[in-house]
Each structure stands twice: as C-alpha cells, then as structure tokens.
Amino acid sequence: MIPGEINRNHVLSALDEIKKSGVPEGRESTKFDLVHEGKRYPPKYVISMANVYANGKELDSTTFSGGDETNAFLRNLGFEITAKKGDSYWIFSVNKENWKISRSDRIWAVDKENVTKKVEDGDCFLLYVKDEEAFCALMRVTGDWYNAKEPIWDNEKADGQIKYNHQVKTELILEGYVKLRDIVEKLSFMENKEKAGVYLRGTPSNMGRPIPESDYKIMREALEGNPLPQELRSWLDDYHNSPK
C-alpha cells in the first residue's frame, strides 16, 4: 500500500532527485511513464523516492503495486501518466555545411519549440543532405534540449545571430551514402514516388511526422551497405580535425 502521507510536493522533490541522479538499473518502467516538464519517469520508482521525503526512507517496491494503484495515486496528485513511449524515428533535411558541423560537434538544433516536444532522448533520426540528394547519417538524441548560447551553424555565422534556439546532444550511430532515387521505391511513407521531395520538407521532414520502424530498418540497412565516398569522408574529417 502507498503511504497516504505522500503529497505532491514530495513527488516533485523525488522528480528533481531522479532528474539529477538517474534511474537505477532494474527500476525502469515497463508499461507507463509519469511525464513532467517534457521528461519521462518510472511511476513506481517515483513513489519509492517520494517516500524518502514523506517518511524518511525509500519505499520497498514489494509493498505496493505498479499499474493501477501507482498510476491512480499519482493522477490524484495531478500528475500525467501515459502509456510508455517507444523510441521514434525521424528525418531531418540539412545542407552540406551544417551536416559537417552536426557531425563534428555531435549536436542538432531546431528553431521551433514544438519539435522539442516530439523528438526526445533516445529517438533516432536520419540526415538527408540536400546538396547530395542522399541520406548520409543516422544519429541518436542523447539528452534533453537546451537553449543555444552562440551562433554555430553555417547560416547563423553568416548573419551573426542565433537562428536555431533549441539544441540537443547526439551520437553518431553510422554513416553511409544512399541516394534518394535508389531507395524511394522501398519506403512506404513516401506514398507518391514521383514527388518524393515533398516528404523531405518540414522540421522534422515527412510533414513533422515520424517514419515507420519498417522504413527506418530499410534505410539503416542501406546505410550499412553503402559507405561514404572517401572524398566526402576526408572533407568531413578535415573539418573535424581543424582548429575551431
């Protein structure tokens, strides 16, 4: 049973602690998440930690149930509980200059705040390099979005001002070189093959929608089988190794 002494402030304190310290192995959620300020937390672990602030010790997870009991308790305190979100897959279109910056600095950025509510920690995205008319990289988001502090992108430096206010850290999963024309027939989200470029517009591309996991797998396999041309790799590496 969940102790009745736990109140909303105790839960908020627990969320702050978990945000700083993380979730221990074995305490991750399986079916539901508590969503607070755009971040997801395991509801049962939140209750265990909230008890530290209410009663001085972490609540043994075997003394209460997850699911209905925990979710109802937290909802009654005004918290949002949602079904667990699986990782999503996205496409972003980029020019060649900003591709090399993203690759070198392991970051991504957008100008619209609503995108930060969609693309979350753990999501993967493919980079479509417009100058090459090719998919060239697969990246993963590795943290929370934060405010940009200085101009770093090609068009920002040209104008001397920040245009992409929201940045996030990324990791490079793999690189390759897959021409759009060589893969378009295999991709289900590009329903009109003759106007495939329409699906590469927007932020993210595909009119701001994630792509199906089946298409993600097709594109990942294609990248794995088609390495970057050496000329492009050398150009990217030269920038990465140059003084900034």
pLDDT score of 72: 93
- Residue 85 confidence (pLDDT): 67
**Does residue 178 contact residue 222 with C-beta atoms inside 8 Å?**
yes
Residue ranges of the chain whose pLDDT lies below 70: 85-86, 244
Predicted pLDDT of residue 244: 67
User: Which single residue is written with the structure tokens 């980029």?
Assistant: 94
Res 79: pLDDT:
94
- Every domain of the chain and the residues it spans: 8-83, 89-241
- With b for 16 or more beta-carbon neighbours within 10 A and e for fewer, the 44-80 pattern comes to bbbbbbbbbbbeeeebeeeebebeeebbebbeeeebe
- Cα 227 to Cα 138: distance, rounded to the nearest angstrom: 12
Fold of 89-241: ph1033 like fold (3.10.590)
CA distance 219 to 231: 22
pTM of the model: 0.68
